[in-house]
């Protein structure tokens, strides 16, 4: 019997050959990325006691819970492209929304996370809302998205999502996997499918015409129950909006429970890094499309089965969604390639791996943001840095009013705000509509003394040193990331030979 090779040993040998040598294969490690669409801090995990999110709360108990996580851009497609490239929107080319007339796309030469994973023999899957392109830059082995399915089905029908996750996990493929479940909840739908309610909170609830999602047990909230964030007007209209959002967030929470149960059933719960976050701020005034803290702060749960000692701990370390690509590459021990997008300048990730935060608290205290468009007509480029308690925002098109998107414009909250403003009634908001539209070129806030970002310190001489420090750091990041807007709005970037800003003398 000594000379006979057992079948399983032969298979193992063949695997060793396939992976190129004698090195013993590392233990399989996988990644599950769960993304909310316009989600915020409406969860018990983030101390909201008005909403019931048992599944997120349970995940948080097995996660490091980041209190200072920020998206680099508060807009859907740009944020998703940034998450999946590790590059800010101005560097990956997704300057605004991807669909229809907006028509933004990442540059063809960008090397995305799914590309890099696929090349490293990681199986990739996406279920839900993709909203980025071109297809060649963002390939997935397994894809059920708005490109081949109804986004309501693959993004909000949690029974359908569960079935797709099961199908992905039941594959006989032996490669490690990266599965990206991009919920369409709790995105508004008053603009696109108003028949289901302002937040699609009725979609699939079993009422007449609403369809039925068997796995969903809808939770209803009364307007007086909700917690109104400081940047949202405290009005009946906004409270009704938030109550609807809670119901939709609850559907996503139950979907997350189903997905995690599928992971356990398939036996991957002890080998999979689970990440939960959201793409951008909630769709309320001061939220989505804004680079205020209120528009960029995101929930971020990082759950590693290998780091139980940090489970349930809260981290104050600064994290950026630009860190997700470096984190996932680090988890898989894949180096970032050396290449350039334009010219000869090598692409450098400015994000960091978050894995050290799974070991111990980290001193990270700075994140950067960059936004250009949302809709193609909504040109309002901003660049921002949050360093410790200070946030500096550079509004490049500041002489024009801040733009309002189609989806947000028709929301009950904004319509109510418009109507109250026109009628001269109290808005119960922490600013006026005029202040919201017209912003200073530079906005500097001390978020520890002024958590509502109400007092612009940019011109306060006492803050001149911190203003100059942050401005210099922001400018350096813009140069490092090849920002085409690095010289805007009062100079021209001349790139030949020695890139520099040449003054326009346009009196800005």
Query: Could you list the residues that contact its own copies (CB under 8 A)?
Result: 93, 95, 100-101, 103, 105, 107, 191-192, 194, 342, 375-377, 379, 381, 397, 399-401, 404-406, 409-410, 418, 421-422, 433-434, 437, 482, 484-485, 488-489, 492-496, 502, 504-508
- Whole-angstrom distance, CA of residue 243 vs CA of residue 180: 28
| Distance in Å, CB of 409 to its own copies, minimum | 4
Write the DSSP symbol of residue 44: G
The token pair at 292 is 């205020």
Contact status, residue 481 vs residue 427, Cβ threshold 8 Å: no
The residue among 250, 223, 200 whose CA lies nearest residue 54 is: 250
The residue among 173, 270, 172, 162 whose CA lies nearest residue 216 is: 162
The residue among 331, 354, 359 whose CA lies nearest residue 29 is: 331
| Distance in Å, CB of 415 to its own copies, minimum | 9
Query: Coil, helix or strand for 180?
Result: strand
- Distance from CA of residue 191 to its chain's centroid? 21
| Distance in Å, CB of 397 to its own copies, minimum | 6
- Distance from CA of residue 147 to its chain's centroid? 20
| Distance in Å, CB of 379 to its own copies, minimum | 4
| Distance in Å, CB of 110 to its own copies, minimum | 11
Question: Count of CB atoms within 10 A of residue 13's CB?
Answer: 11
User: Between 270 and 502, whose beta carbon lies closer to its own copies?
Assistant: 502
Omega before 134 within 30 of 0, i.e. cis: yes
- Whole-angstrom distance, CA of residue 106 vs CA of residue 98: 9
User: Between 44 and 286, whose beta carbon lies closer to its own copies?
Assistant: 286
Q: Active-site residue 487, yes or no?
A: no
Nearest-5° Cα angle at 427, 426 to 430: 115
User: Between 105 and 272, whose beta carbon lies closer to its own copies?
Assistant: 105
| Distance in Å, CB of 139 to its own copies, minimum | 18
Q: Tell me the β-bridge partners of 298.
A: 69
Q: At what angle do helices 412-423 and 236-265 cross, to 10 degrees?
A: 160
What is the DSSP track for 116-131?
Answer: HHHHTT-EEEEEE---
User: Between 348 and 421, whose beta carbon lies closer to its own copies?
Assistant: 421
- Whole-angstrom distance, CA of residue 141 vs CA of residue 387: 39
User: Between 318 and 402, whose beta carbon lies closer to its own copies?
Assistant: 402
User: Between 168 and 477, whose beta carbon lies closer to its own copies?
Assistant: 477
User: Between 13 and 492, whose beta carbon lies closer to its own copies?
Assistant: 492
Write the DSSP symbol of residue 496: S
CA distances for 29 relative to 138, 330, 334, angstroms:
21, 11, 12
| Distance in Å, CB of 413 to its own copies, minimum | 15
User: Between 170 and 192, whose beta carbon lies closer to its own copies?
Assistant: 192
Candidate list 76, 189, 200, 487, residue with the active-site label: 76
Burial class (CB in 10 A: 0-12, 13-18, 19+), 299: buried
| Distance in Å, CB of 109 to its own copies, minimum | 11
Q: Write out the catalytic residue numbers.
A: 76
């Amino acid at each position: 019997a000594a000379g006979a090779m057992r079948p399983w040993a032969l298979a193992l040998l063949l695997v060793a050959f396939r992976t190129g040598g004698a090195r013993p294969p590392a233990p399989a490690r996988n990644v599950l990325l769960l993304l909310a669409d316009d989600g915020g801090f409406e969860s018990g995990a983030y101390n909201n006691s008005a909403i019931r999110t048992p599944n997120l709360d349970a995940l948080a108990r097995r996660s490091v819970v980041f209190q200072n996580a920020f998206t680099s851009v508060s807009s859907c497609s740009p944020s998703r492209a940034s998450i999946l490239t590790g590059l800010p929107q101005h560097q990956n080319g997704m300057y605004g929304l991807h669909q229809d007339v907006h028509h933004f796309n990442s540059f063809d030469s960008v090397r995305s996370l799914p590309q890099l994973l696929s090349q490293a023999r990681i199986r990739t899957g996406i279920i839900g809302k993709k909203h980025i392109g071109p297809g060649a830059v963002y390939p997935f082995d397994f894809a059920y998205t708005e490109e081949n399915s109804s986004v309501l089905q693959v993004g909000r029908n949690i029974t359908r999502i569960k079935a797709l996750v099961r199908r992905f996990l039941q594959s006989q493929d032996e490669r490690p996997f990266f599965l990206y479940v991009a919920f369409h909840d709790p995105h508004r739908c008053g603009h696109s499918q108003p028949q289901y309610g302002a937040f699609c909170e009725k979609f699939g609830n079993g009422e007449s015409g609403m369809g039925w999602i068997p796995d969903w047990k809808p939770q209803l909230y009364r307007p007086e129950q909700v917690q109104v964030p400081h940047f949202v007007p405290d009005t009946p209209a906004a409270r009704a909006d938030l109550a609807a959002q809670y119901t939709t967030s609850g559907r996503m929470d139950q979907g997350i429970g189903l997905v995690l149960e599928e992971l356990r059933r398939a036996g991957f719960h002890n080998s999979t890094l689970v990440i939960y976050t959201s793409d951008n701020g909630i769709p309320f005034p001061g939220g989505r499309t804004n680079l205020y803290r209120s528009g960029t702060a995101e929930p971020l749960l990082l759950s590693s089965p290998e780091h139980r000692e940090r489970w349930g701990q809260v981290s104050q370390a600064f994290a950026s969604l630009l860190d997700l690509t470096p984190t996932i590459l680090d988890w898989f021990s894949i180096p970032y390639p050396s290449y350039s997008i334009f010219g000869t300048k090598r692409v450098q990730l400015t994000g960091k791996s978050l894995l050290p935060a799974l070991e111990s608290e980290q001193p990270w205290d700075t994140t950067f943001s960059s936004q250009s468009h949302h809709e193609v007509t909504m040109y309002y480029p901003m660049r921002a840095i949050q360093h410790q308690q200070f946030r500096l925002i550079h509004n490049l098109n500041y002489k024009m009013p801040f733009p309002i998107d189609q989806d947000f414009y028709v929301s009950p909250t904004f319509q109510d705000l418009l109507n109250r403003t026109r009628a001269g009634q109290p808005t119960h908001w922490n600013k006026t509509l005029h202040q919201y539209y017209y912003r200073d070129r530079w906005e500097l806030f001390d978020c520890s003394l002024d958590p509502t970002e109400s007092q612009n310190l940019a011109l306060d001489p006492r803050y001149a040193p911190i203003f100059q420090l942050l401005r210099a750091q922001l400018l350096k990041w813009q140069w490092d990331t090849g920002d085409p807007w690095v010289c805007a709005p009062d100079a021209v970037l001349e790139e030949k030979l020695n890139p520099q800003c040449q003054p326009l003398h346009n009196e800005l």
